[in-house]
Amino acid sequence: MLKIGLTGGIGSGKSTIADLFKTLFNIPIIDADIIARQLVEPGQKGLGLIQHKFGQLVINQDGVLDRNKLREIIFTDPVKKQQLEEILHPLIYAEMQSIFEKQNSSYSILCIPLLMETKQCSFVDRILVVDCSVEVQIARVMQRDKQSKKQIKSIISSQVSRQYRLTHTNDVIENTKSTNQLAEQVKKLHNQYLNLAILNSE
């Protein structure tokens, strides 16, 4: 079974593409963001490790992670950001691998926003980048998350560049098209991945 790593910058539309693979072809989607949220729920290992490293300051009175406080800390201190990544990334990848091994499909889509930033490209068999211009990224995130343009630009600058993604990928979906055109791109890749899965199993 093939691992297809789906990635792209913030606001590029990764969830839209993942949903199309799921809806059109019932392909398993393993989402790093969902796993990351689960790992920091009360009682989970991730939350315990974060509390040990960052202290009670990042834990609300009800025992839930204060995401805003943690985000504030890591975006103003690169060392703290690295410490958080060293806690979460191994847990996330281990859980993704565990879920992947339980699937029964020719291939799975592993949605990993920071696949290239974490230097884990070897974790997947093939990389699919969802691409759009930086201007489109900013507009989408401003509408979706109500963040300022300055905040969004800061997030974009913390990720690998658009050019880097496009030169280090196997496949690209340009997410500036209509829904029908996106579906056609997904259908073409689906057929390609099925063929690759057959070749891979021989």
Fold identical between 1-28+107-202 and 32-102?
Answer: yes
**Residue 200's pLDDT band (boundaries 50, 70, 90)?**
confident
Quickly name the fold that domain 1-28+107-202 has.
Rossmann fold (3.40.50)
| pLDDT digit string, tens, across residues 120-136 | 999 999 999 999 999 99
In the chain, what is the greatest distance between 2 CA atoms, to the nearest angstrom?
Answer: 55
Question: Whole-angstrom Cα distance, residue 32 to residue 85?
Answer: 13
DSSP one-letter code for 35? H
Q: Check: CB of residue 44 under 8 Å from CB of residue 38.
A: yes
**pLDDT (0 to 100) of residue 76:** 81
Quickly name the fold that domain 32-102 has.
Rossmann fold (3.40.50)
User: Domain-by-domain residue ranges, the chain?
Assistant: 1-28+107-202, 32-102
Our CA dihedral for 8, 113, 59, 52, rounded to 10 degrees, sits at -140
Tell me what percent of the residues of the chain surpass a pLDDT of 70. Answer: 100
Question: Whole-angstrom Cα distance, residue 147 to residue 144?
Answer: 8
**pLDDT (0 to 100) of residue 121:** 95
